[in-house]
Chains A and B, each alone.
Chain A
Amino acid sequence: MNIFDRLMTLDRRWVFLFVALVCVITYAIPFTIKLNKSPEVKAVYNFIDTLKPNDVIFVAVDYDPSSLAELHPMFYAIVEQAFRKHLKVIFSALSQNGPAMVDQVIKAVADSVKQDGTYNGVFYKGRQIEDGVDYTFLGYKPYPALIILAMGQDFRIPFPTDYYGKPLDSLPMMRNIRNYDQVKCVVELSSGSSSDMWITYGQSRYNFPLALGLTGVMSADYYPYLNSGQVFGIMGGLLGAAQYEALADNPGEALDGMRIQVYAHLVIIIFIIMGNIGFILARRKARKG
């Protein structure tokens, strides 16, 4: 049996072994991979990165825990970036199962911002994140379309108090903020129809810059909005999340996941190529012989 035949008729257990080895190694050893960054993700990162301290951004978290794997990493990366840069953030959760999850993420990021950190070569000193000063979490209310419309008039209409029951007027950071006009941009993280509502009832009526974070399957449907300028950036699925983490120099679950994905895909591709080389050479030999 020559080498070509061997390449062609490799026992599949070798394939299994290599896939297992690569997955386990890339899973267990944390190293970062370089990813190509697509312009639509870069746009989101650059927008937030060029904001000045004390600027306010609005993060709408409208996904269910079921699509947590894809959207959570975006949420973490953006919130951490905002807090590090001393931006102020308003959160809302228009999906029924969202609020507790949002609260948990805010607390987790606040904990991590307490430590010093260096991102993209810039040193940030750790600091205490305070509710009402650095962020406001509005909470959940039903009828997303109406809520989005009403917030265009004043955040206090749908949310007289925040998630924790404090009146918005009593929060220091909300003092100068009435509606979307005082917000630099809205980042909508969505796993369903809420992104359409943000476009129709929010962006097209009140004209604020809108960026979308979507699940992988959804993202292709929203590219037309990118072209029409209604949306300035899109992060799609785990890949979009990983690109954002890479841009923010804040590796998390998405980059971890992509590291495994990239190498697992690579192993499979290498096996396909090996099989084909063996096949083509064997066929050539057969023709000659």
Chain B
Amino acid sequence: MKFKIMILGCLLLALALPALAQDSVKTVEASAIPAISPPAPATNVTAMDSPNDNGHSLTLRWTLSADDGAGQKTVLGYKFLRSFFPDSGFVLREGMAPSGSSEYVDMGGRKPDDRDFMPNDTDYYYIVRAITADSNVYSDSPVIGPVKAVGQLYNVGRTLVLVFVLCFAAITIFFIRRARKGAKLFVRRLAGIEAVDEAIGRATEMGKPILYVLGLGTAADIATIASFTILGRVAKKVAEYQTGLIVPCYDAIVMTVAQETVRTAYLDAGRPDAYNDDMVYYVTSNQFAYVAAVNGTMLRQLPATNIYMGTFYAESLLLAETGALAGSVQISGTDQVAQIPFFVVACDYTLIGEELYAASAYLSREPILLGSLKAQDYGKAAIIVISILGIIASQFRWNWFLELFKAGN
């Protein structure tokens, strides 16, 4: 008997199910968006000037609405209304904070003709609005204010950088002074740079010129500045050996500086008459047009040595392979990490990364420049120590230490 009732029940249920399903579908159709009751508002709203900036920005904080992620779970996020008066004139701001966030930075333009200009030292009042899926259902917090945006004189978030700058500058100056006093400094061998002297000698024997490529950097790039120094040393040797020098340039300012550098080098070598401005010439500021021209020069003038020092991009391999085809000895160095592999593969000698910066000091053997190398080494040692401390800190969760190194923007 029981069994029969159960079967009957099941049958009934089976029959009813589609109908039930139909029903639920109908409800969806009838009211696409179910009615939402207004959520609880955000509470404990505070507004303050955003720290470490030029003003024109205020930071709002609040405690989540009771219906945000809990309760009815209807809150989608928060929007913000701003006014110059405590009781009227509130305007909805453009941005919003998604649900779950309890902080928002309201930022405006900096200059009077900027879009959404937000003057400093003016009173502002805010309302935080918890919004739901239905744009008509929301709830507002009480008005908060007045609050003023002001610019700061010092960015506390950048203290770490300041400490680094000061320490590093102090170490560098210390070693440079010590070097000036005549302390002996050891510098390890850099194969790429020792090859330069050899290569110039070889060029002289063969009666062929040396091609010096400064890369695509501008005079503003540190790698290009380092390259100028190396160019100076190379040019001086070239002048002494009476070999030819070709310096095609990608950037007009770089050309100007390079001319000055080479002219000085020839002067130092006591052969100012051998210099002429056409040794250092401008080609074009189009990456591949520049490469096309330099490649052509390599195959037509067959330089004994090609030196690539500075900032290089995709053209690194185009240049280095053509140079290899022309049978030139090739020495390279760049600060572009992505291009080092191509130079390593295609050139005879490559200065990897920091070695480029060490090269100028190494070539000159001037104690002052060598002093700064020593400072760089101390910098690396410091980094290694800090890294080990950081690893220990993260292993044992010393969060205060890790926070120190979360660099501000």
Query: Do A and B touch (CB < 8 Å)?
Result: yes
A residues with a Cβ closer than 8 A to B are 12, 143, 145-146, 149-150, 153-154, 156-157, 168-169, 175-176, 178, 201
Tell me, in angstroms, the Cα distance from A150 to B98 when the chains sit together. Answer: 10
CB neighbours of A145 from chain B (8 A): 98
CB neighbours of A176 from chain B (8 A): 25, 28
CB distance from A149 to the nearest CB of B (A): 5
- Asked if A150 meets B28 with Cβ closer than 8 Å, knowing A145-B98, A157-B33, A201-B98, the reply is no
CB neighbours of A153 from chain B (8 A): 76, 133
What are 18 inter-chain pairs, A to B, with CB distance below 8 A? A12-B325, A145-B98, A146-B76, A146-B77, A146-B98, A149-B76, A149-B77, A149-B98, A150-B76, A154-B33, A154-B133, A156-B32, A156-B33, A157-B133, A157-B134, A168-B32, A169-B32, A175-B25
Total interface residues in chain B, CB < 8 Å? 13
CB neighbours of B28 from chain A (8 A): 175-176, 178
CB neighbours of B77 from chain A (8 A): 146, 149
Are A143 and B96 closer than 8 Å at their CB atoms?
yes
Q: Which residue of the partner chain, among A146, A149, A150, A178, contacts B32 with CB atoms under 8 Å?
A: A178
CB neighbours of A178 from chain B (8 A): 28, 32
Tell me, in angstroms, the Cα distance from A113 to B270 when the chains sit together. Answer: 80
* Given A150-B133, A157-B134, A169-B29, 4 more pairs with CB closer than 8 A: A146-B96, A150-B76, A154-B33, A156-B33
CB neighbours of B133 from chain A (8 A): 150, 153-154, 157
Is B328 interfacial (CB 8 A cutoff)?
A: no
Tell me, in angstroms, the Cα distance from A145 to B77 when the chains sit together. Answer: 10
Tell me, in angstroms, the Cα distance from A143 to B79 when the chains sit together. Answer: 13
Tell me, in angstroms, the Cα distance from A169 to B29 when the chains sit together. Answer: 8
CB neighbours of A12 from chain B (8 A): 325
Tell me, in angstroms, the Cα distance from A156 to B134 when the chains sit together. Answer: 10
Tell me, in angstroms, the Cα distance from A122 to B96 when the chains sit together. Answer: 49
CB neighbours of A157 from chain B (8 A): 33, 133-134
CB distance from A32 to the nearest CB of B (A): 32
Tell me, in angstroms, the Cα distance from A169 to B98 when the chains sit together. Answer: 27
Closest 3 CB pairs of A and B: A153-B133, A157-B133, A145-B98
CB distance from A80 to the nearest CB of B (A): 30
Tell me, in angstroms, the Cα distance from A143 to B134 when the chains sit together. Answer: 17
Is B306 interfacial (CB 8 A cutoff)?
A: no
Tell me, in angstroms, the Cα distance from A12 to B324 when the chains sit together. Answer: 11
Which of chain B's residues 22-57 have a Cβ closer than 8 Å to chain A? 25, 28-29, 32-33
CB distance from B64 to the nearest CB of A (A): 15
Are A149 and B96 closer than 8 Å at their CB atoms?
no
**CB nearest neighbor in B for A149:** B76
Is B99 interfacial (CB 8 A cutoff)?
A: yes
CB distance from A227 to the nearest CB of B (A): 21
Tell me, in angstroms, the Cα distance from A169 to B76 when the chains sit together. Answer: 22
**CB nearest neighbor in B for A143:** B96
CB neighbours of A201 from chain B (8 A): 98
**CB nearest neighbor in B for A176:** B25
Tell me, in angstroms, the Cα distance from A12 to B325 when the chains sit together. Answer: 9
**CB nearest neighbor in A for B36:** A153
Tell me, in angstroms, the Cα distance from A168 to B29 when the chains sit together. Answer: 11
